[in-house]
Every structure is written in C-alpha cells, then in structure tokens.
Amino acid sequence: MVQMIKQIQLNGFFLLILGLTLGLSACGNGKHSSNGADESTETEDTGTEGEDPTGSGGGSDPTSGGSDTTEESITYDFCSTLDFTQNPTDIGINLPSGDEPSGADYNDTTEKLYIADDEGNLSRMNKDGSGITTWNIGGDLEGVAIANESNGIIYVGVENPDGIIEFDTTTGTVLRTFTLTTWMTGADNAGLEALAFVPNSADSEGGLFYAGHQGEGSVYVFRLPIQSSATSTDVTFVTSFVPVAGYTDLASLDYDATNDVIFVGYDGPNQLVAVTPSGSFIQEWDLPQSDQEGVALSSNCDVFIAQDTDKKVWYYASTDFSVTVNEDIIILLANRLAEAQNDDGSFDWQITAGDPLTPTTTGYQNVTGVTALGFFLATNYGSDPDWQEALEATASYFDTKMDTLLANPTDTANNLSCPNWVFLSWYLQDNPNATLETETNTAFDALLDARDTTYGDDASIRFDGVANRIIQARVSIPGLIPWDLALCVEGVGAMAEISTDFSQDYTDALEFLADYLNTTFLPAYDADNSYTYGDLSLAMPLYVLATSSESGLYSDLIDELYTRLFALVDESGLVTNGSADDGEAQATAYALLGLKAVESPLAQRVQDYLESVVDANGIIIDSSTNLETFEIEGEALRALGYVQ
C-alpha cells in the first residue's frame, strides 16, 4: 500500500497532570543584562590564556569580566518562546523505586531521553516515559551529556569526587573515568551538578565538556580525549566562567546546537537562563517547580526537567504539537463504513467476520450516530461522493426518528441517543437546512423537558433527566456511566453550537458530569483499576472536558483523568484496563481522542497502534470474538482523523 502521510498540527494547550498551579509566563525579562565572570582565569595546557572555548572566535571572552549584551549581536529565535505556563506531564512514574533524577540529556537521533540519579542509576526512556532501561553505574550521578548521538556512549557527571564517567550503553559497561578534582572541588552535594557537551568540528576532540559547579555557580570547560584515544584519562582544563552574576546553585546544563546556545538551570532561584558558549546572557525564564536538577531540550523544543524528588521527570511539550496520520487508513475505514451502511441510513452494530452485509435491514439508532460521525473527519483527508451520500442518508434516517420522538418525548424507547444529536449539529453546520434545524432544535428541547420525579424534576437543571435515565439504565455496569454521560454532554454542547437556547444546559451538563466523576466514579475506579469499562469512562470525559470552552474550570479534574489514562497506555499503544467487552480497539479509540485533546506525548504511539489494527479492507476484527463492530470502526475513524 502506498503510505500517504499527513502531518497534522494540533494547536492549543498541552494538559495537564498532577494539579500543578503554575501561573507563570515565559519571559525574556532582562533581569540580568550582563554576565558576571569568574575571577579565576586559571588555564592548563590550553596554549592561549582565556581562549574562546568554542574555537569559533565569536562571543565574548568569558575570563574578561563579562560583557553587556547590548555590545554583542545575538540572533536567537529557536526555543526562545518556551512556555512553562502549561502544565507538564510526569514521565518519570516508571523509573526505579527511590529514584531521585538529577541530570538529563535527549538524543534527537534515537529519540531517547537519558536520566541520571544520585543513587547511581542511568536510565534511558522514550520521551513519553515508556521503554525504560536502567543501568546501575554507582556513585552520585548529577549530569548527562551525549557527544556522539550514534555510538551509544553516554557521559555522566559524578559529584564528590567530581568527575566524568564514559559509559557504553551497548555493552552496559564503564569505559573510563575522567577526574576533575584538580579544578572542581566542593562541599558534599555542592560540587559538580551539571554536564553538557558542546560540539565543534574544529576542535581536536570534536568539542568540549561544560561542567557546572553548584556551590560556585560557575561553569568549567574541559577537553577530554574522546577522539584521540580510547583509553587515556587525561583532562585539559580550558577555562571557566559565571553565566549569571549572583546566582549559585547551578543545577543543569544543556546545549542547543541549532543556535549555539547553552541552557543553564538554577535550582535555588528556579530559573532557566540561555547563554552563549562563551558566557554572554541571552534570555531568562522562570521555572515553576522546585529541586530542578536536570534540563534537556529536544530539537523541536520539547523540554524535560529532572526533579530531584519522588522520581519526577517533567515533560513540557513543544507548543507545535503534531501527530502523523496515515491517510490511507482513514480512507479505508470511511469506504468500509459507506459500504456497510444500510439502505435507510442506519447502521448495524456488528457482524461475524466475513459474513455478508444486510443493507435492506434497519439497524440501531443508538449506534448509527456514533458510527457515522467518522465521516465528518474523513473529509479532512479525501473527498468521496459515497461519504457525502452516507451523511445525507443518516441525516434523513434521524429526520424520520424525530417525528416519533416528538409524539411522546417521555418514551425512552423512541428517544435519539446522544451521539445522534452531535451528528445532527455537525451535519447542519456543514449543510444548512432551516426546516431540519428547526425540527432538530424542537425535538432536543422536548427531550430535555421530558422530566419527572423518576428521572429528574429539579427546576434549576434540565440535564438531570437525561443523566438519570442513563444512570438507571446502566445500573448493572456502573463503570460505563461516565462514558455515556460524556457522550450526552458532548451532545448538549453540539446543540448549543447551533442554538444558544441550550447554552445553559451545556454548562449544567458539564457540572453534572464533573460532580459524578469526582464523587462516584473516580473513588470506585481507584478502588478497582479493572473496573469494567473504566478505560472508556476515563477517556471520553477527558476529551469532553478538555475540549470544552469551560475547560479552565475543570483543570484539576482533567489532571486526575489524564493521570489515570496515562497509566493504561501500553508500550504498543493499546489502551485498556483489561475490562473491555466490546473490543480493546474501542477503549483505544476514545483514549486517542482524549490524548489528542490534551496534546499528550502518548498520542502518536496510540495513533500508530490504532492504525495498525485496521486491515487492508478497512475492517477491524476483534480477534477474541471474530466480530467486526461497525460502531468501533466509526469511533476509530473519528479518533484517527481528529485534530484540534
């Protein structure tokens, strides 16, 4: 199959984990307009006193007492708009117990993050926290640097005694240790605290190592024989400088090769500072956490911060979040569903794999809307007349159903299910029809008004009638209730998009959902993580709340849902708590919606997995039951095609 790949940009916010209240802005606020230099200008075997460490001849001399940034022309755009106001994801949850992350570096070639801790562990992981491999090297490890992204060798900074370990991840062995105590000494826990490698093709060893001294707030620059010898442990001291006068507690270093910039992290004042390799100040950001002892940036400006408590590794996604979508899969699914639609516009629920379709039968209204929603997303990737015909047929099918609903709105057997209202709203927004819109609004209004003492008669809220019907209908499978409620909240929100008459109902519905999640569902889920359909009931509410215009009111709850959903994502991208009866692809599809809505780093992995379960005919088969479920195919189509 020819793979047609589309890069989808998802703009917005990356949400949210562990309820952190940040309220800080990324700022180049000019708090420090010049850098202060280390008065010690000792050099050894450098040939030139105070040489330019980069060998480029640019920048200021770091031993000269500093320079005002107005005297040096600096062009700096890449990553200059880092955003620490967004809530980060903790990707360190699978690190070894007791791990206290203290150093970090990211390999853009292999897309792996390396984390060192002061218990002697070096760990490698994917940027979403999966795929962890840990080596125990020993010692108080405080920094990580990568000199060559292709050879598997990692350099680890060690504190007390200060030094640099050369470690081969392909064999899991220490190759050699470089001792720095001739130049770097400090009290316990106040010596070498950070490490970075600054490459330079003109340098005899391919570049220089920058080691941060915590107690002094200084950066020491060394040349190590990493190209000229495989065994020598000789160290050449080049120079030292103080990036920011008055700042000590230097805790992290990272190098941005794109702009020849070093990022310096300070634990005490909670600052991240960008400087040139020669020490000139560029920009400064407030950091929202504490105990931040390692900083690493990827080439697309993802930021990883190692926190020296509770094995926390914070991931701040680049504001240019994207997911790669395979268009072929979208088209295959849409074509299969167009083929499977019944002549009257309805959909059957499922068939045994390989059985013939039965287009002359009437399917189920309660699965038709949720199945057909995927066609709207498919039109972002292709244009097929069959898809538009399918949308029109479904709209016509619901039109006939509304007549029956209006005849007796209290008869739940004749009500339209909540996703059907989403379908009608989307259809009317794309295909304006005054008559159908009036009928749709009238029918939905009647449904909300169909309330009694059994289903709800609170004069202050109309949504409780719909909600209580769901709760009573699902009494035997309570784990599914939040999923159903979220579908209905989405339905009310969709109807509010075509009529402001339902705006208050939407606000009330969001409040009802949030209250049910907090008081009923989450306590039950936490008591039993295998709660039947619990995966669905984490995922769909997450999507609905995160995409709501009122999402800011529910940030803590969004955190809670995301934290639990994050834990369910398998290495393969499958998402399940092991309880789904309708097939694991369904929970994965709804999880993908939620993960995309919060711009999670897990979204691509789940996208790839869900695409992989679609066969060459656009069919998803549950291997445990040998069933093809059209509803799940529609849900997968929607999730795979969704962009914010």
- CATH number of the domain encompassing residue 167: 2.120.10
**264 and 337 both lie in a single domain:** no
Give the list of residues 6+ apart from residue 257 with CB closer than 8 angstroms, or none: 199
Q: Last residue of a domain, which of 316, 343, 364?
A: 316
Weakest-pLDDT range from 48-52, 77-81, 214-218, 259-263: 48-52
Inside any domain, residue 21 = no
Cα(113)–Cα(92) distance, rounded to whole angstroms?
Answer: 11
Strand 218-223 versus strand 236-241 pairing type: antiparallel
Please state the φ and ψ torsions of residue 493, each to the nearest 5 degrees: -60, -40
Q: Are 405 and 416 in contact (CB under 8 A)?
A: yes
Burial class (CB in 10 A: 0-12, 13-18, 19+), 631: buried
Which residues are registered as beta bridge partners of 271?
266, 286
Q: Looking at residue 182, what is its pLDDT?
A: 94
Longest Cα–Cα distance in the chain: 94
- pTM summary value: 0.68
Residue 578 to residues 529, 542, 628: CA-CA distances in angstroms? 9, 19, 20
Q: Is the pLDDT of residue 28 over 70?
A: no
Same domain, 331 and 207: no
Pick the range with the lowest mean pLDDT from 166-170, 281-285, 417-421: 281-285
What integer is the mean pLDDT of 162-177? 97
Confidence (pLDDT) at 187? 60
* Predicted pLDDT of residue 42: 36
50 or 350, greater pLDDT: 350
Which residues are bridge partners to 273 per DSSP? 264, 284
Q: What mean pLDDT is predicted for residues 378-386?
A: 93
For 201-235, write each residue's pLDDT tens digit. Answer: 999 999 999 999 998 999 999 999 999 999 999 99
- Number of domains, the chain: 3
User: Is 539 or 583 the better-scoring residue by pLDDT?
Assistant: 539
In a domain, 8, yes or no: no
Last residue of a domain, one of 316, 338, 353: 316
- Residue with the bigger pLDDT between 81 and 287: it is 287
pLDDT digits (tens, 9 = 90+) for 302-342: 899 999 877 889 998 876 678 999 999 999 999 999 999 99
Question: Residue 469 is inside which H or E element, if any?
Answer: helix 463-473
- Based on the fold, state whether residues 294 and 247 are members of the same structural domain: yes
Nearest to 547 by CA among 443, 433, 642, 421: 642
pLDDT over threshold 50, residue 490: yes
C-alpha separations of 142 from 102, 213, 353 in Å: 5, 11, 56
pLDDT at site 335: 98
237/380 same-domain check: no
What pLDDT is recorded for position 580?
61
DSSP-assigned letter for residue 501: G
| Domain span at 517 | 461-613
144 and 103, same structural domain?
Answer: yes
Residues 155 and 187 in one domain: yes
pLDDT of residue 441: 97
List helix spans (H) across 499-533.
Answer: 503-516, 522-527
- Say yes or no: 220 and 343 in one domain: no
Please check whether residues 443 and 478 belong to one and the same domain: no
- Inter-residue contact 166 to 221 (CB < 8 Å): no
For CA atoms 512, 399, 440, 387, the dihedral sign is positive
- C-alpha dihedral over 90, 173, 197, 226, to 10 degrees? -170
Query: Each residue of 138-162: pLDDT tens digit?
Result: 999 999 999 999 999 999 999 989 9
Least confident of 14-28, 73-87, 516-530: 14-28
Residue for token digits 């016509």?
396
At 636 the pLDDT is 98
Close Cβ partners of 348 (under 8 Å, ≥ 6 residues apart): 340, 342, 358, 361, 363, 364, 367, 630
What integer pLDDT is reported at residue 64 of this predicted model? 34
Is the same domain home to 524 and 566? yes
Q: What confidence score (pLDDT) does residue 47 get?
A: 33
Q: What are phi and psi of 350, to 5 degrees?
A: -160, 160
Tens-digit pLDDT profile for residues 418-477: 999 999 999 999 999 999 999 999 999 998 988 776 777 777 899 988 898 899 889 999
Q: What is the pLDDT of residue 322?
A: 81
| Residues facing residue 272 across a β-bridge | 265, 285
**Same domain as 354, residue 334:** yes
Q: Taking Cα atoms as reference points, which of 474, 28, 79 lies closest to residue 261?
A: 79
What gap in Å lies between CA 389 and CA 408, rounded to an integer? 30
pLDDT in tens, 391-422: 999 999 999 999 888 888 877 777 889 999 99
Under DSSP, is residue 589 helix (H, G, I), strand (E, B) or coil?
A: helix
Of 126, 115, 84, nearest to 312 (Cα)? 115
Give the residue-averaged pLDDT of 2-31.
31
What is the enclosing helix (H) or strand (E) of 540? helix 534-546
**pLDDT category of residue 294 using cuts at 50, 70 and 90:** very high
- Token pair for 47: 């040939």
Question: What pLDDT band is residue 84 in, cutting at 50, 70 and 90?
Answer: confident
Average pLDDT over residues 81-106: 85
Look at residue 71 in the predicted model and tell me its pLDDT: 33
Is the pLDDT assigned to residue 14 strictly greater than 50? no
Q: Helix, strand, or coil here: 371?
A: helix
Please determine, for residue 356, whether its predicted confidence score (pLDDT) is greater than 90: yes
